Each structure stands twice: as C-alpha cells, then as structure tokens.
Amino acid sequence: MVDVGAKATTARYARAEALVRMSPRARGALEKAALPKGDALVTAQIAGIMAAKQTALLIPLAHQLPLTSVDVRFAWQPDGALQIEAEARTTAQTGVEMEAMVAASVAALTIYDMAKALDKGIAIERVRLLEKRGGKSGSWQREL
C-alpha cells in the first residue's frame, strides 16, 4: 500500500461513468420500473453508493477513505444506452477515483442482474474516469 502519510489532506472529487446497452424490451421495463425484481434504477443507485463505501475491501491496496458524499445518476443516451454517472467526494490524503469507478461499475452490474431475465445480451461498456479534482496532481478532465 502506498504511504500517503506525508501528503496534504485536501478536498478530493472524482466522477466516473459506465454505459449499459440493452434491448428495447429491457429498456421499456426498466423505464416503467416493471422488472421482475423491482425498480432497478433505485436498487442500482443504492448498490453503487454501498459499493463506493466498500472500495478498500474490493480493490487490493486501496486506502479506506472517509467519504463525505457519493451520488449515482442515470441518463438515457440518444443511441439507447443507459449512462450511469457516479461522483465521490472526501477530504483526505488520497483521491476517490476508485470509489467513483467502483460505484459506476456496481450500479451497472446491478442493472444487468435485475434485467437479465428480459435480455441476456445486456452489455456493460466504457467504465472510465471522467474527472478528478484535488491533491498534488490537481484537476484532470477527460476530453469527450
């Protein structure tokens, strides 16, 4: 594990995304909260938040961080994909990029789990960091 003891404690922020592609049938059921297992968007939002809080248990050598905020949001893209965007914040000696990416990933996996009865071909794509702020390296934003 990297020693961050000498690093300054600063406000840290990260935003990540995952895309989920599915059939029109699965999308329709998801939009109506009519999946056999219930409201997938609400469940995926909670799963993403819970996962961010468990990042240090899931990713070897990740630091356990006192998260001050985690948010998971959903938006349908013009091509039919579901965009999952996750944000994480802390005031700590290391960043929250992994927490944001874990939140987006687990939210996407939850969508798959809840909608797989209607579409076995659901694909999770493009899990990636979109933005980070804070720390020695400062701010970074992906050019879209």
Which of these is catalytic: 3, 39, 71, 113? 113
Strand ranges (E), the chain: 10-21, 67-76, 82-92, 123-133, 140-141
Cβ 94 vs Cβ 3: under 8 Å? no
- Rounded distance between C-alpha atoms, residue 95 and residue 62, angstroms: 10
Q: Is 113 a catalytic residue?
A: yes
Active site residues: 113
